[in-house]
Amino acid sequence: MKRALLINPPIHDFTAFDLWMKPLGLLYVGAAMETAGWKVDLLDCLDRFHPDCPAPPTKTQPRLQQFGCGNFLSEQIPRPKPLADVPRSYHRYGLSPSVIQKELARRPIPDLIAVTSMMTYWYPGVFEIIRLAKETFPSVPVFLGGVYATLCRDHAERHSGADRVLAGPGELGMMDVMREISGPIEWKSLTPAYHLMRRVTSVNVLTSRGCPFGCTYCASRELWPRFVQRNAAEVVNEIETLTERLGVIDVAFCDDALLLHAKSHILPILRELRKRKLALRFHTPNGLHTRMMDEEMALELRTSHFVTIRLSFETASEQRQIDSMRKISNDDLRRVIANLLGAGYSHREIEVYVMMGLPGQDSGEVEDTLQFVHDCGGWIKVAQYSPIPGTEEFDRAAAVNPAIRDEPLLHNKTVFAVAGGPERFASFRRLKGLANSLNRRLVPPA
Ligand code: B12
Ligand code: SF4
C-alpha cells in the first residue's frame, strides 16, 4: 500500500490564534488519498494538544475558548529582513523544530509528502517544514498546495524547495499525482479526514466553494473560479457524522458565500439539522453576506444556535462600496442589525468587520465607519487589510509599494496597518482605541 504524509506547517507571524483554524484543505486531500486506497498520516505542526509540546492555556478570549478556540504554542523569533521596520514582536507558532524532527523520524518513509499553505505571508513556516521534511526523507517527493501555492505559485516554485507546486483544488491535483504513481482512481464525494487529527475541539465545514461577487480586494475568484454549492442533504449528513464521531458541538462554516440562494441551500440545511435534534453551536468567523440577512434568515440563525455571527461590512464609504464591493450598502447594515436584534441577538453578539488599511483609505473613512457601525448597534471587529495577488486592489497597493509583488511577507495584515512611518502607526492605534471605546459604550462591562 502506498503511503502519504500530510503536513500542516507552523506559522511565522506577529500574531496567530486558533480561531476555528483547521487544515481543512489538507483534510480534503487526505480524504481523496484514503479513498484511493493510500495509507495517510498527518503531521499537524499547529496541534495545540501535542503531549510534548502543549500550547499554554489561553488567558484572554474566554468567549472563544468555550467554543474550541485557543492559543498556539509560540516563541519569539527575529523578524525577517523585509519586516525589520515593523514595530511589533514576531513569533513562531506551533510545535518546536525538535519535536517536529522527532515526529518525522518516528514515521515510516512515505511515498510522497503533501504540504499545505494558508496565508501568502505565512510562507516561512512552509519553507521551514519542507526543509525539515527533506532532511529526514531526502528522496521523498514533496508536493506543495494551498492558498499561498495558488496565489504565489512562481514564488513557491522558485523558493519553497518543494518538488512540485500544485495550484488549485488539491483533491483534483493529487488525484492526478496518485494516478501517475499507483494507477487509475475513481472520483468519489469526500468528507474531510478529521480522524487524522489527534484531538478536535470543533469542525470546519464548507457547504460551497467560491463566491460570485468579485470584490476588488478578495481572492475568492482566484482560488475558486466557479461558485458551486454542495447538495444540502450531503452537508447535513457530514455535519451529523463528524460531530457525533468526534464528540464536538462547535461547527464553523468557512464558506465565502454561505447565505447565497438560501431557499435551496442554507435554509434546508438548517431546518434538517434542527429536525435531527443535534445539540450543536454554529460559528461564522469568515464574514457573512450582510445583504442576505432578512428577518427570516436572522430568526433561522438564532433558532439554529448560531452563536458567533460576523458580518462583512468593511466600509461605510458609499463611493468605495460602489467601486470595490458589490455586496453591501449602509442601509443594508442598518436593516440587518435591526433584524438580528429582533431575532434575539444582543449587541455584543452582532460582530461587524470593518476594514482598515485599504489602498487610498484615509483615517476619516475608517472613523466614519466605526461610528456608523456603532450607531447601527453592531460590535466592531477591526480587520486589517492584506493585499492579495490577482486582485484589483493588489495592483493599487503595488502602485504605492511595488515590493509587495516580489515579497509575500509584505502582504501581512499587520504590515499594512502599521507600516508607513510613525504617523500611520499612531493613527492606527488611535482608530483601534476608538473601536474599543465605542464597543465598551455599546456594552458596558458588568
Ligand atoms: C476560513 C478562512 C479564515 C479563517 C480560518 C482559516 C483556517 N485555516 O481554518 C479565519 C477567520 C481565522 C481567517 C482569518 C484571516 N483570513 Co482567511 N480565509 C478563510 C477562507 C474563507 C477559507 C479557507 C478555507 O478553509 N478554505 C477551505 C479549504 C478546503 O480550502 P484550501 O485550504 O484552500 O484547500 C484547498 C486548496 O488550496 C488545495 N490544497 C490545500 N492544501 C493542499 C496541499 C496540497 C499538497 C495540494 C496539492 C493541494 C492543497 O486543496 C484544498 C481542497 O480543494 C479563505 C478564502 C478561501 N476561499 O479560501 C480566506 C483567506 C485565506 N483569508 C484571507 C485573509 C485576508 C484573512 C485575514 C488576514 C483577514 C483579516 N484581515 O483579518 C485573517 C488572517 C488571520 C491571521 N492570523 O493572519 C485571504 C488570504 C490572505 C493572504 N494574503 O493570503 C483569503 C484568501 C480570503 C480573501 N479575502 O481573499 N480566514
Ligand atoms: S462577497 Fe466576500 S467572498 Fe465574495 S468576493 Fe466579496 S469579499 Fe470575497
Averaged over 112-126, what is the pLDDT? 98
C-alpha 73/C-alpha 55 separation (Å) is 4
Residue 361, judged by CB atoms within 10 A of its CB (0-12, 13-18, 19+), counts as middle
Grid cell locating 409? 511577507
Tell me the longest C-alpha to C-alpha distance in the chain. Answer: 63
| pLDDT tens per residue across span 164-208 | 999 999 888 888 888 888 777 666 778 999 999 999 999 999 999
CA of 256 to the centre of ligand 1 (A): 10
For domain 202-442, which CATH number applies: 3.20.20.70, 3.40.1010.10, 3.30.420.610, 3.30.429.10?
3.20.20.70
Q: For residue 384, give the ligand 1 atom closest to its CA.
A: 71
Q: What is the pLDDT of residue 5?
A: 98
pLDDT class of 417 with cuts at 50, 70, 90: low
pLDDT at position 59 over 90: no
User: For residue 327, which atom of ligand 2 is closest to its CA?
Assistant: 1
Atom of ligand 1 nearest to the CA of 25: 34
Atom number, ligand 1, closest to the C-alpha of residue 218: 90
pLDDT grade for 328, boundaries at 50, 70 and 90: confident
> Which ligand 1 atom is the nearest neighbour of the CA of 169?
53
Residue boundaries of the structural domains of the chain: 3-182, 202-442
Cell matching residue 61 = 478570549
Cβ–ligand 2 distance for 150 under 6 Å, the answer no
Give the separation between CA 14 and CA 356, rounded to whole angstroms: 17
User: What spacing in Å lies between the alpha carbon of 255 and ligand 1's midpoint?
Assistant: 10
- Report, as an integer, the average pLDDT of 236-250: 97
Q: Is 213 in the pocket of ligand 2 (CB under 6 A)?
A: yes
Pocket flag, ligand 2, residue 220 (CB < 6 Å): yes
Confidence of residue 416 (pLDDT cuts 50, 70, 90): low
* Separation of CA 213 and ligand 2 centre (Å): 6
**Cα-to-centroid distance, 214 and ligand 2 (Å):** 6
Q: Report the residue among 6, 8, 119 best suited for mutation to probe ligand 1: largest number of ligand atoms under 8 A from its CB.
A: 119
What local confidence, expressed as pLDDT, does residue 372 receive? Answer: 97
Is the CB of 218 within 6 Å of ligand 2?
A: yes
Which residue has a Cα nearest atom 8 of ligand 2? 218
Confidence of residue 389 (pLDDT cuts 50, 70, 90): very high
- Ligand 2 within 6 A of CB of 343: no
- Determine whether domain 3-182 maps to CATH 3.40.50.280: yes
- Grid coordinates belonging to 222: 482566484
Give yes or no for residue 327 CB within 6 A of ligand 2.
yes
The ligand minimizing its distance to the Cα of 284 is 1
Q: How far is the CA of 125 from the centre of ligand 1 (A)?
A: 15
How confident is the model over 353-373, as pLDDT tens digits?
999 988 888 899 999 999 999
- Mean pLDDT over each residue of the chain, to the nearest integer: 93
Chain centroid to CA 170: how far?
Answer: 17
Ligand 1 surroundings by CB, under 6 angstroms: 13, 16, 19, 21-22, 24-26, 28-29, 114-116, 118-121, 143-147, 150, 166, 169-171, 173-174, 204, 206, 218-220, 223, 254, 256, 285-286, 383-384, 386, 388, 411, 413
Q: Which of 325, 327, 321 is closest to 288 using CA atoms?
A: 327
Q: Which ligand has its closest atom nearest to the C-alpha of 321? A: 2
Give the percent of the chain with pLDDT over 90: 77
295-303 helix and 266-275 helix, angle to the nearest 10 degrees: 30
pLDDT at position 414 is 86
Residue 419: band (very low, low, confident or very high) from pLDDT cuts 50, 70, 90 = low
Distance 119 CA to ligand 2 centre (A): 17
Q: What is the pLDDT of residues 150-169, one digit of tens each?
A: 999 999 999 999 999 999 99
